[in-house]
Amino acid sequence: MTNYNNKQKNNHKYNHIESHQITYKTEELLEAAKNRFKITVKVANRAKRRKYEDIDIIEDPLVKPVIRAILEMVDEITQPEIIGE
């Protein structure tokens, strides 16, 4: 149940984000990556996985799985304390 609550909190975190912020976050992710192709594949795989894992969770239709994956990956890279929890 705790895992479900954490997902709900993360979903709410990304519900209200501007398009220019998405662009900046994408650039930040690509700059942090050593290989642009590999990071692109990782983003795509995460988005695909989340799409099917969270099928029962009603999400904001404006935040597509690929955008959510990018935002999460940037947070993981720039805020390593998130992974430590």
Average pLDDT in the 19-35 region?
A: 90
Question: What range does the domain containing 75 cover?
Answer: 2-84
Q: How far apart are CA 42 and CA 4, in angstroms?
A: 23
| Token pair recorded at residue 15 | 């519900």
Query: Each residue of 33-70: pLDDT tens digit?
Result: 899 999 999 999 999 988 777 666 666 666 788 898 99
Looking at the structure of the chain, the number of domains it has is: 1
Between 7 and 21, where is the model more confident? 21
The first and second tokens of residue 14, run together, are 């990304």
34, burial (CB in 10 Å: exposed 0-12, middle 13-18, buried 19+)? exposed
pLDDT the model gives residue 1: 44
On the question of pLDDT at 3 being above 90, the answer is no
Distance of CA 14 to the CA centre of its chain: 8
pLDDT at 19: 83
pLDDT computed for residue 53 by the predictor = 75
